[in-house]
Amino acid sequence: MSTKQIKDQNELKESTTIIGCGIAGLTTAFYLAKKGHQITVIDPTINNDIDPQIPSNATEASLGVLMGYVSRKSSGRGWKMKMKSMKIWEEWTEELSNNGKEIKIKKPLIKIPKNDKENEFMMHIAKERKDLGIKYEKIYNTKNLISMKNSYGVLISNKDGRIDPILLIEKLKNALKSWKIAMIQQSVIQLKRNLNSKEKRWIIIMANGTYIAQDNIVICGALGSINLVKPLGHTISLEPILGQAVEIAIKSEDVIINNWPGILSINGLNIIHKYKNTFLIGATIEPGVKASIQEKISMLNSLKKDSTIFKDYVIKKEWHYLRARPINEPAPLLKNLEKGLIINSGHYRNGILLAPACAEWTWKELCKQSIH
């Protein structure tokens, strides 16, 4: 879509501000802009350089796992959103690759069962979802990859995989900038209803004292979403969930890394080949805001136990990050609080995976309440 097309359509659409520039915010801005909405994105770190070890949001620190087709459930809201998102990601990665460096989903995803029950489940879904590119192989070449104490096979999902989160953020921001989308590097400190019914519905006040008036606000601010809506009389419940990840390099020079899958998943641990002898390992799921040394040790011990090539390695980098998990509600938290005020937050585990479906849901909600 050209800048001119965006501009022409914006003249006919409502103004919408996205608060937060993690994956939820950026994909929502991208989706709405493609639909012709007049978009503004506000975040205090929107123009900062990205450093995964000092993440400004969970997306920057994530591993970019897209684990949709091998979901345990094959019905309900979550399943439908995963299927929708996977379809959109295939379209978006191709579209975002048209300008500069290619971005793609590295496939496949391979899961190793940890016990008889999980092995039976994997065989079941391979039979049930054959048309979704999933298969179970009893005999699989796992030499130099893992040590399997039992004679299990592996589950191979040819459509699931991994997308580089840093490149994805860069691509989305570049697309928004090319469309002349306003990107304001500020903190939002207050939202006020505009009592003048003939004007925009909302006033957004920022930390530097400036403000803008908008028709709609979409809050994608993770834990920060709570304090923005509370003064307006809305209560949302989110709790912090911490994740730890590491980058390691194996010491052995004899190991040849060939055809490593997009993701190798063992006992809930995701192993991603980065380059040469370097791998990304993660991530833990810990309540609270303080990283547990024991949780990291447990993760690394599991890595050594279940693999053959990770017996001797060095940690090159390690980091942790916070995510927001809805309390007593399914994730993500999608709510239309009142006319022109939407919550798209609480993506504590599947943020990148579900982001496109959440963006589409947001667009549909805005269409329902359009004042034009």
pLDDT of residue 9: 40
CA separation for the pair 130, 120 (Å, rounded): 15
Backbone angles phi, psi at 53, to 5 degrees: -80, -20
Residue 256: pLDDT over 90: no
Question: Is the pTM above the cut of 0.75?
Answer: yes
CA separation for the pair 46, 21 (Å, rounded): 6
CA separation for the pair 278, 298 (Å, rounded): 20
Residue 220: pLDDT over 90: yes
Task: Return the CATH fold of 3-99+165-237+328-368.
Answer: FAD/NAD(P)-binding domain (3.50.50)
User: Which has more confidence, 268 or 232?
Assistant: 232
pLDDT in tens, 9-68: 444 468 999 999 999 999 999 999 999 999 999 999 999 887 777 788 889 899 999 999
CA separation for the pair 198, 201 (Å, rounded): 8
Residue 152: pLDDT over 70: yes
pLDDT of residue 4: 39
Instruction: State the average pLDDT over residues 259-286.
Output: 91
In the CATH hierarchy, which top-level class contains the domain 238-326? alpha beta
- For residues 178-213, one letter each, b for 16 or more C-beta atoms within 10 angstroms of the residue's C-beta and e for the rest, the string is ebebebbebebeebeeeeeeeebbbbbebeeeeebe
Q: Do the two domains 3-99+165-237+328-368 and 238-326 of this chain adopt the same fold?
A: no
pLDDT in tens, 176-208: 999 999 999 999 999 999 988 678 999 999 999
User: Which has more confidence, 311 or 145?
Assistant: 311
Residue 371: pLDDT over 70: no
162 CB contacts (<8 Å, ≥6 apart)? 63, 64, 65, 66, 105, 106, 109, 262, 263, 272
Going from the C-alpha of 276 to that of each of 203, 248, 251, 310, the distances in angstroms are: 51, 11, 11, 14
pLDDT of residue 140: 62
Answer whether 121's CB lies under 8 Å from 91's CB.
no
pLDDT in tens, 304-362: 887 778 888 999 999 999 999 999 999 999 999 999 999 999 999 899 999 999 999 99
Mean pLDDT, the chain, integer:
90
228: nearest Cα among 242, 240, 213, 217: 217
pLDDT of residue 272: 95
Q: Quickly state the pLDDT bin for 215 (edges 50, 70, 90).
A: very high
Instruction: State the average pLDDT over residues 82-102.
Output: 93
Answer whether 243's CB lies under 8 Å from 321's CB.
yes
Q: Quickly state the pLDDT bin for 139 (edges 50, 70, 90).
A: low
pLDDT in tens, 295-313: 999 999 988 887 778 888 9
pLDDT of residue 12: 43
Residue 3: pLDDT over 70: no
Residue 150: pLDDT over 80: no
pLDDT of residue 143: 52
Task: Output the CA angle 144-150-152, nearest 5 degrees.
Answer: 80
pLDDT of residue 151: 65
pLDDT of residue 53: 73
- Residue spans per domain, the chain: 3-99+165-237+328-368, 109-158, 238-326
- For residues 159-176, one letter each, b for 16 or more C-beta atoms within 10 angstroms of the residue's C-beta and e for the rest, the string is bbbbbbbebbbbbbbebb
| Cα pseudo-dihedral 8, 14, 19, 21, rounded to 10 | -30
The structure tokens listed for 9 are 């359509």
pLDDT of residue 199: 85
